[in-house]
A and B are shown apart, each in its own frame.
Chain A
């Protein structure tokens, strides 16, 4: 109890003793007159660590007077481990940030490791306060079970992520149209298989392929089933305020029956479970792959990069084919709130200054800084909009990689600006993205449930085994070593024996508390 009260007490004393300056003043972002240095542990995407010499960090320090000094080791290759090591070492830095830390922020926040930010935001962070007031769903998503906010999240912008891509040139060769529904898709894939669209006289075409095998399971959406609820694989989804799981729905049975048939008939890459991450390069580069489901931005680049190797290649995005009930669904989109961001540790002696720094990132100036880099160096204001300089846009390196190197577009608590990505997305992808957004195909992504200690115990105890069993059975059904219709009743009974209903009930109670 004392441990939990102490930080709040410290926060109270500090906020009382420091005269509050108007943080909303437009061109003065100074938080501390004397240069203030604080420490930050931020290791992210298994590769990067916060560096106070990043141009973005230097600029932010110059404008606010606060320097965040990175203490995470730059040689680490597993961000989750780096976070765990920091927690175990016990000597917490002032600020902790990184990707996929939401559950940890909640768990250890409730144990007293991180400060509750609610009052700090209300009193010292007008921009954050406004943003949360404008987006109640974001506020709900980042609120821990005890009602406190422990971290400021990375808020993505834009909706689209992955989409369906097909070889238009193969369709043209065979005199076919883009498939509009699942039956037409079946015919197209069958034609890809049998009619030798690559014209080499061999039946070596791979009609549907994917880099990650869960993208094969994603096809269950063609029969109105669901494979996940968020931008991660195998997650729960929400329907009419109930927590549901795709692999326990009746639609899933029908969908798997069909996918097993497709696999059997060779419409799906026979090696989809083992081919791995390079399958896209390999299958497109050898003129073998016909259709896939993958990221708009990266998949649309192959027509150009493979133009010499595969003459005439024309891989284009197409609208999700309609299910038998007429629904066109794109299950994968951008989540509203990322589980990434940063938090203030209980050891921080300047929580007010820190929250003001967090708030600075949500001002227009701060947002541009963390999205585009330093004005005049990486971008210029054109017609009131940030435009990257030609040097950035025409570099050999992708723009996102350049941004990561200067400390922009990293998983701190910031609001992403989609125009950053639009500026260097090619026309093929842009056309696809516009088509998906106009058609309203992308379904909302669920931001996840903040579980109490008891709920998490139930989840941790039962869920890993249920998921293992479900995935095991799923692959057996698709590979044809077992039959979904024979197994179904036993399967449903088995997952309940393994505790499925208990997990569902725990999540439902969490959902009701957090979102209802």
Chain B
């Protein structure tokens, strides 16, 4: 038994010595992970403590699951979970396929100049800060001077104050995010498409396949592993809806559909200085995200052969 362990240790030692240059290259990242991601995890304990800044993380008293109880008895927190899932789910359905479709479309363009221009225009919004995008959304949707309402008015529809109506929040949020990110996200798929062996297309053309059939039978199956990986990552982020953009767009009037976990944490935890409850909410968030990624990965490994690990 013990000789077995000893053998293993000497084995590891040999491997380390043999490839030390590679491990040296790896070291900065490992250190970075330990210092900035694993060490701060000790701070997660404040989710189970009555946290006081002055007493510190270790000096504060334990309260067990009190903060979790508070959260789950809180209907606004429950509502924010629901909103988070709905927003993520809708973006999964509507926003996730967008970059794939876009990439396929770019791929079919043969005029090089036009293709480059179209791609650049599609990437551009990614580089605009969310603050500016939110400002644009607010002014486009303004009930008196916004272009959207002017058009509606021109065609005889009634003007609408979109940003104060909870029913419009999700379409506005997902639509504008789509506009901002779809172009940039399509790069990954374009790269995947570029990796498809051209001889596949050539033989398909010899067999008389139409362009539509080529996309359907060759391009899509070839980039499927990429799509799956992107989907798994996306599912991992299902409970993470970034709060900056929502805070820039929401109003008390639209909290009903717009208040997500991260904005809830922001309002309660940071503005209300209740770091312990905020940490509890964040921890809950992380656990759910982990379960989601893990199951998505399992399913993907079963159904197709590609998976993250």
Contact = CB atoms under 8 A, between A and B. Distances in A.
Contact of A84 (B53, B143, B252, B274): B53
Given A271-B144, A461-B70, A481-B165, A475 B53 contact: no
B241 interface: no
Contact of B252 (A90, A107, A471): A471
A166 B7 CA distance: 88
B289 interface: no
- The A interface, classified by DSSP as helix, strand, loop or mixed, is helix
B143 A271 contact: yes
B64 to A, nearest CB: 15
A111 interface: yes
Contacts of A479: 161, 164, 253
Interface in B63-98: 70, 74-76
Contacts of A108: 52-54
A274 B272 contact: no
A460 interface: yes
Interface string A57-83: 000000000000000000000001000
A273 B251 contact: yes
A472 B267 contact: no
Contacts of B163: 273-274
B56 interface: yes
Nearest to A112: B54
B54 A111 contact: yes
Contacts of A18: none
Interface residues of A, number: 28
A475 B163 CA distance: 12
B138 interface: yes
A469 B259 CA distance: 12
Contacts of B56: 88, 90
Contacts of B105: none
B253 A465 contact: no
Interface in A454-500: 460-461, 464-465, 468-469, 471-472, 474-476, 479, 481
A307 interface: no
Contact of A87 (B53, B142, B255): B53
Nearest to A103: B273
A273 B54 CA distance: 38
A457 to B, nearest CB: 9
Interface string B177-198: 0000000000000000000000
Contact of B253 (A204, A460, A472): A472
B268 A464 contact: yes
Contacts of B138: 274
Contacts of A113: 54
Interface of B: 52-56, 70, 74-76, 138, 142-144, 161, 163-165, 251-253, 255-256, 259, 267-268, 272-274
Which 7 residue pairs spanning A and B have beta carbons closest together? A475-B253, A471-B252, A87-B53, A113-B54, A108-B54, A472-B252, A472-B255
Interface of A: 80, 84, 87-88, 90, 107-108, 111-113, 204, 270-271, 273-274, 460-461, 464-465, 468-469, 471-472, 474-476, 479, 481
Given A464-B272, A479-B253, 15 more contacts: A107-B52, A111-B54, A270-B143, A271-B142, A273-B163, A274-B164, A274-B251, A460-B274, A465-B76, A472-B255, A472-B256, A476-B253, A479-B164, A481-B165, A481-B253
9 contacts: A271-B142, A271-B144, A273-B251, A274-B164, A460-B272, A468-B76, A468-B259, A468-B267, A481-B165
